[in-house]
Amino acid sequence: MTTMLGVELNGRRVLLAGGGPVSARRLRRLIDDGAAPVVVAPELCAEAAQLVADHGVTWHRRGVEEADVDGSWLVHTATGDPAIDARVAAWCESRATLCVNASDGAHGTARMTASSRAGDVMVGVVSDAGVDPRRTARVHAAIREMLESGAAPLRRVRAGAPGRVALVGGGPGPVDLMTLRARRLIAEADVVVADRLGATAVLDELDPDVEVIHVGKAPGHHIRTQDEINGIIVEHALAGRRVVRLKGGDPFVYGRGGEEVTACLRAGVHVEVVPGVTSAVSVPASAGIPVTHRGTASSVHLVCGPTGMTGATLAALKDRTVTTVMLMGVAAFAGFAADALAAGAPDDLPVAFVERGFSDEQRTVHSTLRAAAGDALRAEVRNPAVIVLGDVARAELLMPAVHEASAAA
């Protein structure tokens, strides 16, 4: 019968007897865990040699000796010679030192698990009787998928640990476009401070006692000021809670994430940023508009609608190799277009309004800079919408490629 234990090896000596690929894999894991590995082997495989060189690992270039076991918290033997590995295991047995015998794992006193981490939760999988690595790997993969998807109950039960904040980019809307880290952190959260846009459907997956605070902003209507949002985040974190600030798109693309990070750091609160799929790229893509396209556009200029016309934006509009993507710009677009035309931007510049990206109501309105403001008004274009200006916004841009592919088929 095997008893599973979590063993703290940080800073502690671990002996690896053997320098082949098996030892290399274990060496990498021990380095990641912060252990102090010592390798004893006449030769090292390429991967093990690289790890030894990169991380300053102690390597004794000889065969393993009994004295090498002394002072080790754990021994891993994979010399490639079962007789030598058995001797190493026996030396460990006489010293009450745990030993992983990779040549015959069923006869060692310890086994390496297939393990995954989800925050401060670690899950390991190991065979109880005999060794069946492929079965262990399959079981581990299924558990890892559950942890990473946020489907496991990862919230803390005991209080007392320090609070923390995660600024999570929710992407353009669909939950399955969120990152695995985002899903895991949301599953761990005690409090979610949520925007109006983004993957808000993920909130339906939360436990009933998770506090959800809606702070979303709509045009002309802000439920909370930014300073108030900063205060909410910091207050809950200082109270020892795990806070997720769930934002649409990416936190650092017109999401004011930098201000929220600054507020946390000033308050001494640990904060991490989880990138999200920005709507500036993904929403045009959902409408078949590539923001860069070989032979058409080689760079992208992002602009926030309320910012208005700047010298950099005007230069981008005049350069036909640049795609300009405007976020939060529906209300300001008429004035923006008038300023651009007055400053010499080409009046035939293609424009596309992509509304409600990734939803069942998604639609695209194509126009030109000269006519776009009027066309948007007549079509009753509303937020949320991403506005693309540049030759990539031509409705027929991809038609030749599509036609050519069809003809070839």
Amino acid type, 226: Q
CA distances 214 to 97, 169, 204, 247, Å, are 54, 15, 14, 11
Query: Which residues 6+ apart lie within 8 Å of 371 measured at CB?
Result: none
* Spatial distance between the Cα atoms of 348 and 154, rounded to a whole number of angstroms: 54
**For residue 159, how many other CB atoms are within 10 A of its CB?**
9
- The C-alpha atoms of residue 10 and residue 204 are separated, in whole angstroms, by 39
**Which residue bears the tokens 């592919």?**
405
Location of structure tokens 């702070």: 215
Strand partners, 165: 243, 271
318 catalytic per annotation: no
| Catalytic residue list contains 217 | yes
Altogether, the residues listed in the chain come to a count of 409
Task: Tell me the CA end-to-end span of the chain in Å, nearest whole number.
Answer: 61
Of the candidates 217, 318, 375, 391, the residue annotated as catalytic is: 217
The active-site residue out of 190, 195, 247, 250 is: 195
Other C-beta atoms lying within 10 Å of the C-beta of residue 102 = 24
Place of tokens 């069809």: 406
Place of tokens 């030892």: 23
**How many angstroms separate the CA atoms of 62 and 49, rounded?**
14
Is-contact 402 365, C-beta < 8 A? no
Give the SS3 label for residue 7. coil
CA distance 164 to 288: 39
Contact 306, 328 (CB under 8 A): yes
Helix (H) or strand (E) holding 247: strand 242-247
Annotated catalytic sites, by residue? 195, 217
